[in-house]
Structure 1
């Protein structure tokens, strides 16, 4: 008789545990089907500048419809076209309302490519743009693009 009572208690306990875990999975199932928001960086430097001119690079960072006021990282990496191995990095300053800026002076007549390295909400994106400084001509094969991670 004691064996039957123990067996009944074990079965009852397992049934209760099973019911509790299935209720919890119903509430998290909706969260799992929700699409994560995308990290987006609106980065549009001027198309041209003069050698020696200081240019303000500006990135507006959003996550879905929300302005990201606390990005973990916003840095601009720039280099003369076809010379990525000689790039420079500058940290952007948080201006508030999802806007991040940095001033850069392009010394030479050349096409400069620029990544806006941006990390926020456990995501990283690095849109790429180009700026023509002075009388340089852009190589369209490597100019604009984006790398998302």
Structure 2
């Protein structure tokens, strides 16, 4: 019985030790929303999303979609962003009126969807 217990302890230690050595720390996918510093109503601007994972720019996202919501309103519309290269996905958008907006990028890579947001002000701050 004592030999069996020792054998089990050695096996447990071996399994735990091997599993820790094989772990790979996956790096988080990140999305950075980029817009012009000054945005005016009824003027078309480019909304860009830089998608990275660690130091690598992601060129093969399954989908990148942009959602723009004015503060106090709900907008379910998703706009497909086009891959521009170098990890950049973009779309053109025209803000209809002045105010505070939230831009949300929905990035899907290998079936895993992440959301990134940025708040912007269109027109003059009140």
Report the TM-score, using the length of structure 1 for normalisation.
Answer: 0.66
Whose relative contact order is higher, 1 or 2, with alpha carbons under 8 Å and at least 6 apart?
A: 2
Backbone CA RMSD of aligned residues: 2.3
Name which of 92, 104, 108 aligns with 2:93.
Answer: 104
Contact 1:106 1:133 in 2 (8 A): yes
Which runs of 4 or more aligned residues in structure 1 lie more than 4 Å from their structure 2 counterparts after TM superposition?
none
Higher helix share: 1
In structure 2, what is the equivalent of residue 77 of structure 1? 67
List gaps (5 residues or longer) in structure 2.
Answer: 1-13
1:64 maps onto 2:46 in alignment: no
Deviations 1:76-126 (A, max 9, x none): 10111121x234321100011211010000111121111011111443221
Q: In structure 2, what is the equivalent of residue 115 of structure 1?
A: 104
Matches within 5 A, 1:15-30: 26=18, 30=21
Q: TM-score, normalised by structure 2?
A: 0.76
Residues 124/86 of structure 1: CA separation in 2 closer, same or farther (3 Å cut): closer
Q: How many angstroms apart in 2 are the aligned matches of 1:98 and 1:121?
A: 16
Does structure 1 residue 89 correspond to structure 2 residue 74?
Answer: no
Q: Unmatched 5+ residue regions in structure 1?
A: 1-21, 138-149
Q: How many residues align?
A: 113
User: Highest CA radius of gyration, 1 or 2?
Assistant: 1
Compared CA separation, residues 81 and 87, structure 1 to 2 (3 A) = farther
Counterpart residue number, 2:31: 41
Measure how far apart 1:61 and its partner are: 0.7
Mark the CA change 1:133 to 1:87 in structure 2 (over 3 Å): closer, same or farther: farther
